[in-house]
Structure 1
Amino acid sequence: MKIVEISFAASKQTLIWLFVLCVFFMPVGAMSKSYAPGKTIICNTSDTSITAQIAGQLNDKALNNGLYFPVSAKRFYEKRAFAPVWTVEQKDQNKTWAAMLLIDCVLQFGLRHEDYHPKELQYTTLHTILEQPGKVSNKQKARFEIFLTDAMLAFMNNLHFGKLNPYYPPAKIDRATINGFNSEEILTNALKLPAFMDAVVKVQPLNKEYAIFQHQLHLIKGLYEGDCYETPEADVRKIAVNMERLRWAEINDSTYIQINIPTYTLKLVLPDTTFNFKIVVGAPATPTPLMVSTLTDFATGTGAVNPKTNQRDKMIPYNLFFKQKTGNQKNGTYIYFMPGNKAGIELLGLSDKNLFKKQKRATSNGAIRIERGEELAKLLLTTAGNKTDIKSMHRALMDREIKVFQLKKPVPIRITYITTAIVDGQIVKYEDIYNLDSKVENQLYGLKPVNKTK
Structure 2
Amino acid sequence: MVWLRNCVRAASLLAACICCAGPATAAPLPLSAAAGTEAALTLQNLLDTLPAGSAATYQRLGLQAGPSVGHFYARNAYRPVWTQESGWNAQATEALRWLSEATRYGLRPQDYDYLLLRTLPDSLGPAPHSRAAGPLRAGFELRLTDALLRYAAHLEFGRLQPGSLAPAANEAARLAAADRLRHALNQGSLASFITGSQPAGRAYAQLLDAWQAAQDAACPEDSARLLTGEQALFRQVAINLERLRWEAAPDSEYAVVNIPAFELQLVRRGRVVQTHRVVVGKPEMPTPTLDSRIIVFVTSPEWRVPYSIAVNEMLPELQRDPGFLSDNNYELRNAATGRLVNPWRVRWQRVTPETFRYTIRQPAGRTNALGKVVFYFPNTHTVFLHDTPARAVFSRPDRALSHGCVRVEKPLALAAYLLRREGTEATLQPALTGPDRHTKRRFDLQQGLPVHLRYYTCAGDNGRLRTYADIYGKDQALLEAFFARP
- With structure 2 as the length reference, what TM-score do the two structures score? 0.64
| CA displacement, residues 308-332 of structure 1 (integer Å, 9 cap, x when unaligned) | xx999xxxxxxxxxxxx99754597
2:49 paired with 1:56 = yes
Match of 1:182 in 2: 176
SS in 1 for 2:384: coil
Match of 2:217 in 1: 219
CA distance in 1, matches of 2:197, 2:114: 22
CA distance in 1, matches of 2:251, 2:219: 29
User: Does the 8 Å CA contact 1:326/1:334 hold for their aligned counterparts?
Assistant: no
SS in 2 for 1:268: strand
Match of 1:337 in 2: 376
Structure 2 residue identity aligned to 1:186? R
CA distance in 2, matches of 1:76, 1:365: 52
Distance 1:218-1:302 versus aligned 2 partners, 3 A rule: same
Structure 2 residue identity aligned to 1:74? G
Match of 1:107 in 2: 103
**For the pair shown, which has the larger CA radius of gyration, 1 or 2?**
2
SS in 1 for 2:147: helix
SS in 1 for 2:187: coil
2:119 paired with 1:80 = no
2:173 paired with 1:154 = no
Match of 2:253 in 1: 255
User: Does the 8 Å CA contact 2:254/2:266 hold for their aligned counterparts?
Assistant: yes
Match of 1:191 in 2: 185
| CA displacement, residues 50-96 of structure 1 (integer Å, 9 cap, x when unaligned) | 22323439953035455443443333333324433222569992211
Match of 1:277 in 2: 276
1:366 paired residue among 400, 404, 417: 404
User: Does the 8 Å CA contact 1:326/1:374 hold for their aligned counterparts?
Assistant: no
User: Does the 8 Å CA contact 1:120/1:147 hold for their aligned counterparts?
Assistant: no
Distance 1:440-1:258 versus aligned 2 partners, 3 A rule: same
CA distance in 2, matches of 1:23, 1:430: 58
CA distance in 2, matches of 1:91, 1:48: 18
2:141 paired residue among 142, 145, 169: 145
User: How many correspondences in the alignment?
Assistant: 384
CA distance in 2, matches of 1:49, 1:388: 69
Over the aligned positions, Cα root-mean-square deviation in angstroms equals: 4.4
User: Does the 8 Å CA contact 2:376/2:385 hold for their aligned counterparts?
Assistant: no
SS in 1 for 2:276: strand
Shift of 1:432: 1.8
Percentage of matched positions with identical amino acids: 24
User: Does the 8 Å CA contact 1:441/1:447 hold for their aligned counterparts?
Assistant: no
Which structure has the highest helix share of the two?
2
Shift of 1:297: 2.1
Distance 1:304-1:228 versus aligned 2 partners, 3 A rule: closer
User: Does the 8 Å CA contact 1:99/1:197 hold for their aligned counterparts?
Assistant: no
User: Does the 8 Å CA contact 2:285/2:403 hold for their aligned counterparts?
Assistant: yes
User: Does the 8 Å CA contact 1:68/1:170 hold for their aligned counterparts?
Assistant: no
SS in 2 for 1:363: strand
Match of 2:423 in 1: 387
Distance 1:94-1:140 versus aligned 2 partners, 3 A rule: same
CA distance in 1, matches of 2:337, 2:102: 54
CA distance in 1, matches of 2:57, 2:285: 44
- In structure 2, stretches of 5+ residues that fail to align are 1-19, 33-39, 306-335, 339-362
Distance 1:172-1:49 versus aligned 2 partners, 3 A rule: closer
CA distance in 2, matches of 1:192, 1:245: 32
Structure 1 residue identity aligned to 2:440? R
Structure 2 residue identity aligned to 1:174? E
Distance 1:144-1:356 versus aligned 2 partners, 3 A rule: same
Distance 1:402-1:194 versus aligned 2 partners, 3 A rule: same
Shift of 1:114: 2.0
| CA displacement, residues 376-417 of structure 1 (integer Å, 9 cap, x when unaligned) | 1321343xx41236627974995424453131xx64433232
Structure 2 residue identity aligned to 1:56? T
User: Does the 8 Å CA contact 1:298/1:405 hold for their aligned counterparts?
Assistant: yes
2:237 paired with 1:239 = yes
Shift of 1:267: 0.8
2:184 paired with 1:209 = no
CA distance in 2, matches of 1:59, 1:380: 58
Shift of 1:141: 3.5
Structure 2 counterparts to residues 405-444 of structure 1, below 5 A: 405-407=445-447, 411-421=449-459, 428-444=466-482
Structure 2 residue identity aligned to 1:213? W
Structure 2 counterparts to residues 2-151 of structure 1, below 5 A: 3-4=24-25, 21-22=28-29, 49-56=42-49, 60-64=54-58, 67-88=63-84, 93-118=89-114, 120-125=116-121, 128=124, 132-151=128-147
| CA displacement, residues 189-235 of structure 1 (integer Å, 9 cap, x when unaligned) | 2212233235423433442422222322343387xx95898444333
SS in 2 for 1:263: coil
The range that moved more, 372-381 or 89-98, is: 89-98
User: Does the 8 Å CA contact 1:50/1:138 hold for their aligned counterparts?
Assistant: no
